[in-house]
Structure formats: C-alpha cells, structure tokens
C-alpha cells in the first residue's frame, strides 16, 4: 500500500526529513516540477519559512501544513483556514531556550561582554590596560516586556531573581501576573528604562518600536528584541542609538534577514545575534520532532497536536 505523500518545499532541519521518511513518502522541492498526478497526492507539508496562498492553492489535496518554529508568519494561515486546511507550529518546546537567550542578550548589552572579549582578544589587557567600566548596570532597572505570552512569561520569571522591577504591555491583561500592566506600548516605554520585545509578526505589530517609543525609553534606555525584526523601525533605532536617544540595544532578529543594515553593524552600542534564540541542538531537535509529530498525529488519529489559532480544528 502506498504511503501518504508529504511535501518538503525547501530547506528544513535534517531531523524532520529523517523522521518523516520513517512514516511518509517525502517529496522534496518545488511542486511545480512535479506532474499533476504527483501533486494531487500530496496531503501534508513540512515547511520552515514561507508557504503563501499561491503555494497552498497549488496543492489540491493538502490537509495539514506543519510549520517549523512558533512564529508562523511565513505561512498564510488565514488562507489555509478558509480552505479547511490545518496549520500547525512548534510552541512551548522552545520557551526556555528563547527566554535564556533574551537574558543572555540583555546582560551582554548592558555589561558589554562581547566588546570586552574582543578587547581582550585584541591584546589590550596584557598591555596593562583595564577594560572601561560599563556605563550601565542591570541593577535597579525597570524592565518592560512587550508581549507576555508563552515566551514573555518565561523571560519575566527569569528576571525575578535579578531583583528588577517588571512591567508589561499586551492587548489582554493578565490579572494573575505579579507585574505592572500598561494598556499602551507608549505608556510602558515611558515607565521603564529597559524594553524587551517578544511579540509576533502581525499587521498590528509592524514598526511599533519607532522613534516615539525609543524617545520615551530615554537616554539610559536599553532595547532588546527576540521577537521579530518586523516590529522595529530600524532607521529610527539606528538613529536613536547613534544620537544617544537610547543607550544600547541587543537584537536577535532583523527586518530583512539575513541582511543586517550597516548603520546597525557600525554601532558600538548594539549587540547583534544571527537569529539564534532557539538555536541549540536539543531545542531544535524538539521543534523538529513536533513538526513531524503533528503530521503523524493528524494522519494517524485525526487530531493535530499544536494547531495555530486560525486553524479550523480544536487543539
């Protein structure tokens, strides 16, 4: 008996391919290179990155699109839902890794550890010099978290032992959260001196970190982004860092990855990482497993494990 066909349209974690091949007929590459009969057999997709409306429409028999990553902004989930097609993502299994990265990036940005290491490697220490004292300290800061979802909550929990004050902005208040709530991002930015962004890429979050918000954060302000580059007006951020409108920034994500603007690369007060917040072997393996397990569960038991909110089935 022939097995169910699953399309892998582009590059994906190797473990996804290995595990998929245990249960499915895996078709790799662009479906436009396949004949109509082969395309018609594809019932599942495993994708890392983009799968737009046209790609969805090109597969007449597709039932489930399993997306690698918790952010599924590359997949047109609304369009899929309108056709009764399920989209799944990989929530929760990466919360700890991403929250740990946010804390590491925050400390690197505030205490300048990457710059200090470069200074040591350049031979300055043995010349009898001392690395300059960092301008900023985490001690006594008021940290605002923009997005208190699965990952934002883990970031907040990790911040508690640092004895900083913690506040947040989301559209929906979390009455049980022991942190200050601000119903607007502007009010949050005015109240805090440190802002961590961990919101998804949506039409509502586009360039919401703009000149006004950065100015509200102030000259001692530190901005950290582990959410999506889409959320930031990078021109305004580079200008704010250069002019001293804010003090420093730590960024794991960028507007047009992997293109990091020169105006950010040139700044000494920006710590820049290549979108690696979930990038450890164990966490990426767990994400890969969840991509495959969603397909296995759907085709085996008729119930996906982690459908996205737009999708027309209950979790």
Residue 148 binds ligand NAP, judged by CB under 6 A: yes
Residue 149 binds ligand NAP, judged by CB under 6 A: yes
Comparison of 44 and 71: residue with beta carbon closer to ligand 8YV: 71
The CB density around residue 282, as the number of other CB atoms within 10 Å, is: 10
Could you say which of 45, 151, 213, 296 contacts ligand NAP (CB under 6 A)? 151
195 phi/psi in degrees, rounded to 5: -125, 125
Please give the residues from 12 up to 71 whose contact with ligand 8YV meets the rule CB under 6 A.
Answer: 48, 68-71
Choose among ligand NAP, ligand 8YV, none what residue 240 binds, the Cβ cut-off being 5 to 8 Å by kind. none
Contact call for residues 42 and 27 (beta carbons, < 8 A)? yes
- Tell how far CA 125 is from the center of its chain: 37
Which one of 275, 284, 297, 310 is the catalytic residue?
275
Choose among ligand NAP, ligand 8YV, none what residue 144 binds, the Cβ cut-off being 5 to 8 Å by kind. none
| 257 is known as an active-site residue | yes
Number of residues that bind ligand 8YV (CB under 6 A): 8
| 115 is known as an active-site residue | no
Residue ranges with strand state E in the chain: 5-8, 25-28, 42-47, 64-67, 86-88, 142-146, 165-169, 180-181, 194-197, 222-225, 248-251, 270-272
151 phi/psi in degrees, rounded to 5: -80, -40
Could you say which of 94, 155, 237, 241 contacts ligand 8YV (CB under 6 A)? 94
CA end-to-end distance (rounded Å), the chain:
30
Choose among ligand 8YV, ligand NAP, none what residue 24 binds, the Cβ cut-off being 5 to 8 Å by kind. none
Beta carbon of residue 2, minimum distance to ligand 8YV (angstroms, whole number): 31
Please tell me the distance from the alpha carbon of residue 154 to that of residue 143, in angstroms, as a whole number: 14
Residue 232 binds ligand 8YV, judged by CB under 6 A: no
262 phi/psi in degrees, rounded to 5: -55, -35
Residue 93 binds ligand 8YV, judged by CB under 6 A: no
| 228 is known as an active-site residue | yes
Contact call for residues 288 and 39 (beta carbons, < 8 A)? no
**Where on the chain is the footprint of ligand 8YV (CB under 6 A)?**
48, 68-71, 94, 275, 278
């Amino acid at each position: 008996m022939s097995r169910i066909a699953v399309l892998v349209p582009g590059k994906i974690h190797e473990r996804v391919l290995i595990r998929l091949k245990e249960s499915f007929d895996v078709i790799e590459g662009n479906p436009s290179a396949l004949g109509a009969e082969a395309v018609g057999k594809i019932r599942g997709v495993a994708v890392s990155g983009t799968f737009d409306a046209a790609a969805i429409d090109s597969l007449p028999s597709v039932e489930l699109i399993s997306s690698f990553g918790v952010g599924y902004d590359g997949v047109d989930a609304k369009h899929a839902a309108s056709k009764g097609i399920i989209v799944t993502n990989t929530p929760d299994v990466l919360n700890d890794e991403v929250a740990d990265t946010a804390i590491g990036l925050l400390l690197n940005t505030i205490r300048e550890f990457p710059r200090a290491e470069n200074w040591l490697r350049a031979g300055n220490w043995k010349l009898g010099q001392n690395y300059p004292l960092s301008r900023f300290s985490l001690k006594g800061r008021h940290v605002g978290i923009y997005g208190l979802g699965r990952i934002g909550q883990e970031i907040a929990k990790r911040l508690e032992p640092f004895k900083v004050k913690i506040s947040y902005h989301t559209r929906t208040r979390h009455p049980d959260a022991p942190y200050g709530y601000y119903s607007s991002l502007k009010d949050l930015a005015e109240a805090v001196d440190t802002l961590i962004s961990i919101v998804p890429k949506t039409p509502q979050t586009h360039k919401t970190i703009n000149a006004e918000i950065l100015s509200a954060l102030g000259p001692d302000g530190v901005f950290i982004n582990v959410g999506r580059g889409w959320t930031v007006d990078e021109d305004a951020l580079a200008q704010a860092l250069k002019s001293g409108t804010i003090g420093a920034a730590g960024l794991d994500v960028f507007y047009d990855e992997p293109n990091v603007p020169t105006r950010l690369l040139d700044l000494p007060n920006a710590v820049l990482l290549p979108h690696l917040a979930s990038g450890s072997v164990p966490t990426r393996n767990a994400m890969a497993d969840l991509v495959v397990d969603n397909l296995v569960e759907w085709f085996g038991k008729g119930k996906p494990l982690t459908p996205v909110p737009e999708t027309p089935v209950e979790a």
